[in-house]
Structure 1
Amino acid sequence: MQSPVAPPIEGATHLHSGKVRDLYELPDGRLLMVASDRMSAFDFILETTIPDKGEILTRMSLWWFDQLSGLVPHHVLSTDVPAEVRGRAVICERLEMYPVECVGRGYLTGTGLLDYRATGQVCGISLPEGLLDGSRLPEPIFTPATKADFGDHDENVSYDAVAGTVGDGVAEQLRSLTLAVYARAEQIARERGILLADTKLEFGARPDGTMVLADEVLTPDSSRFWPADDWHPGRAQPSYDKQIVRNWLLSPESGWDRASGAAPPPLPDEIVTLTRSRYLEAYQTLTGETW
């Protein structure tokens, strides 16, 4: 996948671009993290953007950081950002990021379901027989993944593999904090009629060793949110995320062959509108705020 081109921001030095976010360094050494309207699917950055997506993700992360106050410190220092990225960016502290995608799961789906069907386990954790797509797990589990290079897939790994990379003490803290964040967020979402199936978190360390929650948190890009009143295990669940985009790309209507290696085609206007509405619905339902 070709790395996206980040727009220049006066007085800021571009450091890195991911599928959605662009990272800059400010003159005082702090970092500026900007959420774009880019949409990725199947390890491609799509030609078509989703209007307001970056601002929705940023607002939702800030709301969740507030909900998690007292549980774990976060990396946001200020929302007083340059005018051209206002609403979609935060100023954050520089951290030493841990090379682990920390995933908390309360329901079986996605790559976890694939692993379970193949081995009866997810990341080395044995699960009961007979679980279906969308089944609620007996208790939430920590299912870490490696951080892949740009354009590659993250790969699920065992807890022991994480401990071998970052040490036993850090691995236990990552697991404990991930499950604590998942538990609080799952309860909050459930009270608002949404099931939090799973979520991916990233943590970093301050110079004094304090573990800090970083990047985005509990957005439709990093989490699976399902309408609680439409949850039926045994099938794919309706979701507040980019599944609409994935489904269209895989449909005959798109004309795209995933196995071809070619980039996906532009999204039609109705798919863009529907995707934006799902992101907005998740934001408004969870936060109680109107756009």
Structure 2
Amino acid sequence: MVSRALSTAVDLIDAPLLYKGKVRELYDLGEHLLIVVTDRISAFDYVLDPPVPAKGTVLNQLSSYWFDLTKGLIDNHVVHTDVRELGAVAKDPEALDGRVMVSRRAERIDIECVVRGYITGGGWRQYQTTGEVNGIKLPAGMRKNEAFPKPIFTPAAKNDVGHDEDISMDTMKEMVGDELALELQEKSLMLYSFARDYCAERDIILADCKFEFGLLDGKVILIDEIFTPDSSRFWDQSKYELDIEIDSMDKEPVRSYLAGTDWDKNSKPEPLPEHVVDETTRRYTDIYRRITASELNHS
């Protein structure tokens, strides 16, 4: 039985709200930050109705799982994910269970660190036009969904409003300096390779992913979320083919539904039908189960 959906935690947290994103809300705990992951879902830059039950719990617990797996590779911002340790800050611990992450305060580096193992999505569209992705010249004749000879690092400049902007490595170096740019590239490729191999053992292809990093006491640490359906493109190995649009293991039911309507993408669409919401919940809980080999713990 899936729990009720959570659209916002504003009335459930006794702490100042610092930032409300499309999915996450950030609260001020003084020394630390509190991230609450809601069930809101977005597509084409619009937050949709209704929220998707269990989505936020999957995102938070899957990130926590990966942060723990990779902490030997790189330090991260996690302090704990136990709602009981919040005490009176959590007005409704049951509703917040599985959704909270108390984090160390890091200075965010305003670069979205994207690694692509396969040529698909926006990378494929760039390649068709220029033969390049983010300024990286690629072999001629590549086919959609083909694996790169080696994964490529394709950063983007973060924009809090609208889309992030794809940039070249040279531009990234101009923005953050050569040394930090190269460190972020190295760490991103290392993390992707680790998760790609981990997923492959579970018959999942990690096609691409994105990371956010921050600086804490002058040291680069991993922040935000990692290897979730919202930050990564997962494919079921059994559905992998070249030259097709592969059904991703994420909010694909929402995108497919909207694409089949007459929505003009210039205003918020009508609420999603129940069957689309139910199928999206199933997708999120399924990827959690396949990666972690355990059932989702949600209130």
Question: Is the 2:54–2:285 Cα contact (8 Å) retained in structure 1?
Answer: no
1:241 corresponds to which residue?
250
Q: Is 1:15 aligned to 2:15, yes or no?
A: no
Deviation of the 1:9 alpha carbon:
4.1
1:262 corresponds to which residue?
267
Deviation of the 1:79 alpha carbon:
1.4
Instruction: Write the letter of the residue equivalent to 2:33.
Output: L
Q: Is 1:171 aligned to 2:181, yes or no?
A: yes
| Structure 1 unmatched ranges of 5 or more | none
Distance 1:5 1:230 in 2: 35
The equivalent position to 2:221 in structure 1, one of 212, 216, 233, is 212
- The superposition leaves residues 226-250 of structure 1 with CA deviations (integer Å, 9 ceiling, x where unpaired) of 0012100111112111121111101
1:282 corresponds to which residue?
287
Question: Is the 1:15–1:25 Cα contact (8 Å) retained in structure 2?
Answer: yes
TM-score, normalization by structure 1:
0.94
Q: Secondary structure at the match of 1:248?
A: helix
Instruction: Write the letter of the residue equivalent to 1:34.
Output: V
Deviation of the 1:215 alpha carbon:
0.4
Distance 1:204 1:67 in 2: 19
Distance 2:11 2:269 in 1: 27
TM-score, normalization by structure 2:
0.91
Instruction: Write the letter of the residue equivalent to 1:228.
Output: Q
**Moved segments of 4+, more than 2 Å:** 8-11
Distance 2:107 2:74 in 1: 16
- The superposition leaves residues 161-213 of structure 1 with CA deviations (integer Å, 9 ceiling, x where unpaired) of 1111111010001000000000000000001000000001000000x211110
Deviation of the 1:6 alpha carbon:
5.5
Instruction: Write the letter of the residue equivalent to 2:112.
Output: E
Question: Is the 1:189–1:196 Cα contact (8 Å) retained in structure 2?
Answer: yes
Question: Is the 2:9–2:38 Cα contact (8 Å) retained in structure 1?
Answer: no
**How high is the sequence identity, in percent, across the aligned residues?**
43
- The superposition leaves residues 6-40 of structure 1 with CA deviations (integer Å, 9 ceiling, x where unpaired) of 513443110001111000001x3210001100000
| Structure 2 unmatched ranges of 5 or more | 1-6, 84-89
How many positions carry a matched residue from both structures? 281
Q: Secondary structure at the match of 2:164?
A: coil
Question: Is the 2:211–2:226 Cα contact (8 Å) retained in structure 1?
Answer: yes
Distance 1:156 1:99 in 2: 12
- The superposition leaves residues 81-135 of structure 1 with CA deviations (integer Å, 9 ceiling, x where unpaired) of 3314221011000000001000011001111111111111111111111112211
Q: Secondary structure at the match of 1:8?
A: helix
Distance 1:6 1:122 in 2: 39
Q: Secondary structure at the match of 1:263?
A: coil
2:81 corresponds to which residue?
79
Distance 2:9 2:52 in 1: 16
